[in-house]
Amino acid sequence: MPELPEVQTIVDDLHKVLKKKRILSIRVTKPRLLHNPLTFLRQHLVGATIRSVRRRAKLLLFDLSSGYTLIIHLKMTGQLIWRSHLGKLSGGGHPIVGVASVPNRYTHITIDLSGGSRLYFNDVRQFGYFKLLPTSALVQHFSSYGPEPLSVDFSLSGLRAELQRRRRSTIKAALLNQQVVAGIGNIYADESLFVAGLSPSRRVGRLTQVQAAKLYRAIRQVLKRAVHSRGTSFSNYVDGLGRTGTYWPRRLVYGRAGSPCRRCGRTIKRTVVAGRGTNFCPHCQK
């Protein structure tokens, strides 16, 4: 559920509190969520120090002193909550209705850290996962992912090239395709398309050069603003303290079907494109 801005917010918050912490033990009640044997995980995790917490696409990366990197995907309903020995909270993820404390019935993995703090992985639908890889294997592991949209790796010419390969696809499907650009999900796909003035169901091949450039700029602008707002949320993200991001009240179309368009005042419509609920303004987006 969390997309790039939400994952970035969680990563930034967790990096502050987890950096230099040593992993003392790990407990798993749902082995299905691990992509490695538990013994292998323990072997390279326990005793290692967390060097840094980073993000690639929608995944969190924990670089360890053991030469391994722990990859965590929150998928739709995962959350990572850190709690200090005094009860201070950090991290975040999908909010769980009526459940504010950790651990709880959705806590599937617990990591004990030096200093008496703990990191809890909670996931209602259990789609999320933990995967441990040698740090040296990361480049290969992410070779099928497109560029980070907020880095210099993401260029207009590169986007054009990727779009060219998928000219029969709808623009929305292309934005959701992680091979085109990494980190965009349903919310920011809809928001970017509104800012670019493009209909979600439009075929990629029918984009003009000017429109592709508008889309490129829209993606970067929308994601930058969302990161600065600590994500969107309300229904898709809260931080460790239960606070939502502030992008939600600023959103332009996502979840606003039936409400007036902020630009033209006409009604925002909802359809299904690329198999996903899609919100757009038929008047402002062509």
Nearer to DNA, 117 or 279 (CB): 279
Element (H, E) at 26: strand 23-28
- Our answer to whether residue 58 is catalytic in this structure is yes
From candidates 3, 13, 63, 239, binder to DNA by CB under 7 A? 3
Residue 116 engages DNA in binding (rule: CB under 7 A): no
The catalytic position among 56, 58, 118, 172 is: 58
Residue 183 to residues 45, 59, 132, Cα–Cα distance (Å): 27, 9, 21
CA distance 71 to 215: 30
Residue 20 engages DNA in binding (rule: CB under 7 A): no
From candidates 39, 86, 139, 168, binder to DNA by CB under 7 A? 168
Give the footprint of DNA on residues 119-158 (CB under 7 A). Answer: 124-127
Distance in Å, CB of 65 to DNA, minimum:
27
Report the 3 state secondary structure along 68-90: EEEEEECCCCEEEEEECCCCCEE
Among residues 22, 13, 20, 19, the alpha carbon closest in space to that of 113 is found at 22
Residue 185 engages DNA in binding (rule: CB under 7 A): yes
Size of the site for DNA (CB under 7 A): 39
From candidates 34, 41, 45, 57, binder to DNA by CB under 7 A? 57
CA distance 260 to 265: 5
Sheet containing strand 238-239, edge to edge, reads: 23-28, 107-113, 118-123, 78-83, 89-93, 238-239
Residue 256 engages DNA in binding (rule: CB under 7 A): no
Stretch touching DNA by CB under 7 A, among 85-93, 107-115, 221-229, 232-240: 232-240
Which residues make up the interface to DNA (CB under 7 A)? 1, 3, 57-58, 73, 75-76, 97-98, 105, 124-127, 165-170, 173-174, 176-178, 185-187, 204, 232-237, 274-277
Residues forming the active site: 2-3, 58, 276
